[in-house]
Structure 1
């Protein structure tokens, strides 16, 4: 049973975009024993990485999806690759690798890891881009708030100029630079609400309310 749940960024986006009851269930699920879930989107990420950093041709990446055994996963990868190809035609800048960033909630009750799939210059800004390929509809306000959480906690030294989420479902690009101070305040309130949900879940599972040794930095808005 995990003492401090950690979310990948797509899982965190799924959490905050869920309705209240499913959201609370997703929080409680983080404290239940797990054997490790199947990574449905790994095949797509691997092909995007090879396109970005190993010069794999899009046609070859698309052809290789025939090796994906599960039909739903194969179709999702094909759709995602085609959307990524369309986006690259409009944004042909060079791609490079970019380190991820892990941050804690205000009370240290959960952690979120922003893992960029690549870094690209967009409108003169070095932008760290995370790919989203889940069917769940994204709220622009929630995504921008989550990107502000990342940017506001990332050390200034080595920080990209911008952070973004590219939806391979519909081609939308959500950017931190499109957010504002109201979005930042919204994001901080959201973290406080989630901390309360995690505190309640810890109580339900008989875990201590405060995690020793975890003192997250408080960002300035």
Structure 2
């Protein structure tokens, strides 16, 4: 039995915001044997954590981007940091760490890891924020649906009051607390749809059946 793939939250957002054909292609590629990826988000996340948890200044982390070897990754991290600094001026406060959540999809064909980049009190709510720094355009309704899928599965212990996505591409801020029941239902439908796509990809690529692991009930 082959293990199932684990999708980071940024990849989940990318998938749900893709049109059907590129979505199917992206899922199929993800199920092929692993190849070295080009993770733009990692460099930015590392530097945000250095500001939040290691006491580095904005100038220090911005200067450190010169050490990034690949030019596209360097430019992406630098641009993202500059936009993050602007956002922070309007949203000051202590940045804290927040535990990650990994959950299994409804039919067990993939896992999702939601790793907040930081926790920040906003409007009296301790908000777990995931930073989006990819050029792909996001759909507000689909982002809220994905956040609902996370919120419904986050355990009571160390649970934030809110969950959010900060897009450094356009400055938009998506909060789970703004979601409706329709968004929650859409989130479950999206997971079910991706289960079907992952099952199809495994069949097409001849990947063995998944194991007996089953998802936990939704809280």
Interval containing the TM-score (normalised by the shorter chain): over 0.9
1:207 to partner: Cα distance: 3.4
Equivalent residue for 1:97?
97
Inter-partner Cα distance in structure 2 for 1:179 and 1:197? 25
Where does residue 18 of structure 1 map in the other structure? 18
Q: After TM superposition, list the pairs within 5 Å mapping 1:102-113 onto structure 2.
A: 102-113=102-113
Cα shift at 1:124: 0.6
With normalisation by structure 2, the TM-score equals: 0.94
The number of aligned residues is: 219
Matches within 5 A, 1:176-187: 176-187=176-187
Which consecutive unaligned segments of at least 5 residues does structure 1 have?
none
Residue in structure 1 matched with residue 207 of structure 2 by the alignment: 207
Structure 1 residues 67 and 208, CA gap change in structure 2 (3 angstroms): closer
Is the Cα contact below 8 Å between 2:66 and 2:74 reproduced in 1?
Answer: yes
1:69-218 matches, within 5 Å, as: 69-209=69-209, 211-218=210-217
CA change 1:119–1:162 in 2 (3 A) is same
RMSD: 1.6
- Within a 5 Å distance, the mapping from 1:22-41 to structure 2 comes to 22-41=22-41
Output the TM-score relative to the length of structure 1.
0.94
SS in 2 for 1:129: strand
CA deviation string 1:82-105 (max 9, x = no partner): 111011111111011111000111
Structure 2: runs of 5+ lacking an equivalent: none
Higher relative contact order (CA 8 A, sep 6+): 2
Q: In 2, are the aligned partners of 1:2 and 1:31 still within 8 Å (CA)?
A: no
**Bigger mean CA offset, 70-79 vs 117-126:** 70-79
Separation of aligned partners in 2, 1:178 and 1:45: 25
Q: Distance in 1 between matches of 2:192 and 2:6?
A: 16
Q: Work out whether residues 142 and 187 of structure 2, in 8 Å CA contact, stay in contact via their aligned partners in 1.
A: yes
Q: Give the drift of 1:2.
A: 5.7
Q: Secondary structure at the match of 1:41?
A: helix
